[in-house]
Amino acid sequence: TSAARSLMMLCICLSPPPNDLTVAHTMAQELLKVMGTDELDAVEVSSVYPIINASSRSGVVSFLLHNADAALVDIEWLISKIKLQPQAKLSEMQSEQHNTWNGDASRVKLEGALHSRVQQLVLVLSTFAQMSLTGASAEQFL
């Protein structure tokens, strides 16, 4: 289980945002296949990530939920930074319609990054919502 965690951490950490959450989402989808659902029978080993299997699934759940929690902390930090950014005054924007105001451009970039992170995090967590989690995994998810 620790080898699975280490390998997954390496995969996710080497992927720059927002691709890190895209990788986490793919891993969560494969985990869902290994855990099974009401409609689908569980598979023994993931065909995409063989490290995700019946024996490693509890560790994988824990790791991916911890990763999602870390992404949520990043999102909260980014929201606080956006709130601190000064808003462009309407008169400034009207007088400089053809010039980009650096503060506004920076804010738009931050908001775009925030939107992308939130969107990817929702995809990861929605996959967990489809799982029949029990015990500590269910507590961690909630």
4-32: b (≥16 Cβ within 10 Å) or e: bbeebeebbeeeeebebbbbbbbbbbbbb
- Report the predicted TM-score, pTM, of the whole model to 2 decimal places: 0.80
Structure tokens at 65: 């939920």
Q: What is the pLDDT of residues 12-25, one digit of tens each?
A: 889 888 899 999 99
Q: Assign residue 117 a region: left if phi > 0, alpha if psi is -120 to 50, beta otherwise?
A: alpha
Q: Determine the pLDDT at residue 86.
A: 64
Q: Determine the pLDDT at residue 111.
A: 87
The list of the chain residues with pLDDT below 70 reads 1, 85-104
Q: What is the pLDDT of residues 25-34, one digit of tens each?
A: 999 999 999 9
Q: Determine the pLDDT at residue 70.
A: 93
